[in-house]
Amino acid sequence: MQLYYSPTSPFVRKIMVLLHETGQLEDVEKLPTSGTPLAPAKGLPAHNPLGKVPALARDGAPTLYDSRVICQFLDDRARASLYGEGESKWSNLVVEATADGIVDAALLMVYERRLRPDDKQFHDYIESQWHKVEQAVEALDQKWLSNLSGPLSIGQIAVGCALGYLDFRHDARGWRKNAGGLDDWYAKFSERPSMKATIPAG
């Protein structure tokens, strides 16, 4: 299998953490790929028509794309049960979706600043995206800490990578100020070897 990836993508990091945690890291060849929404990486649309990473190419089978699809495939492949069963499964999927929503909003903030000239940037739009981040962080802190404190799950991995991305790109905004419980949880979770091995740089 070949993983088309960017080392700074929080969606890629989610997959990399899962690979570490499930012992599948050596089964995947990592192919660095870089691009922007305005200029997708050359050749990437052949694997993902949306022109986005991550994409997981498989021998004799369709390429998988979107981190949630790839994570479910790898979890199933390793029989790791990171999604759980019954009500636990739905809780984990909601937590994963909340974390991915944080990343979506945080990425849009980055793109607005990087891809538009200064005089064309829509600052109210940037602030509206950060408001989504704050609401989602508050929800995780107030409603989902018990889920995050259970056995390792896809929800925990997704939240860990989302909060790591906030530290990486939006540290000055201080997501922790109204989320003390989530901050404590993240401090412990970020000490996992899989998280330390995948810290973004650049």
Per-residue pLDDT tens over the stretch 90-104: 999 999 999 999 999
92-146 pLDDT, tens digit each: 999 999 999 999 999 999 989 888 888 888 999 999 999 999 999 999 999 999 9
Q: How many residues does the chain have?
A: 202
CATH of the domain at 6: 3.40.30.10
Q: Which domain holds residue 51?
A: 2-78
Query: Are 53 and 103 members of one domain?
Result: no
So what's the pLDDT on residue 202? 67
Amino acid at 130: W
Residue in 140, 62, 148, 147 with CA at minimum distance from that of residue 101:
140
Query: Are 23 and 97 members of one domain?
Result: no
Per-chain mean pLDDT for the chain: 93
Burial 12-34 (b: 16+ CB within 10 A, else e): bbbbbbbbbbbebeeebebbebe
Query: Are 190 and 153 members of one domain?
Result: yes
Residue in 72, 20, 10 with CA at minimum distance from that of residue 192:
20
- Tell me if 202 is assigned to some domain: no
Q: What is the pTM of this model?
A: 0.94
Domain-ending residue, one of 78, 113, 141:
78
Domain-ending residue, one of 12, 45, 78:
78
Number of domains in the chain: 2
So what's the pLDDT on residue 41? 75
**Residues 144 and 93 sit within 8 Å (Cβ to Cβ):** no
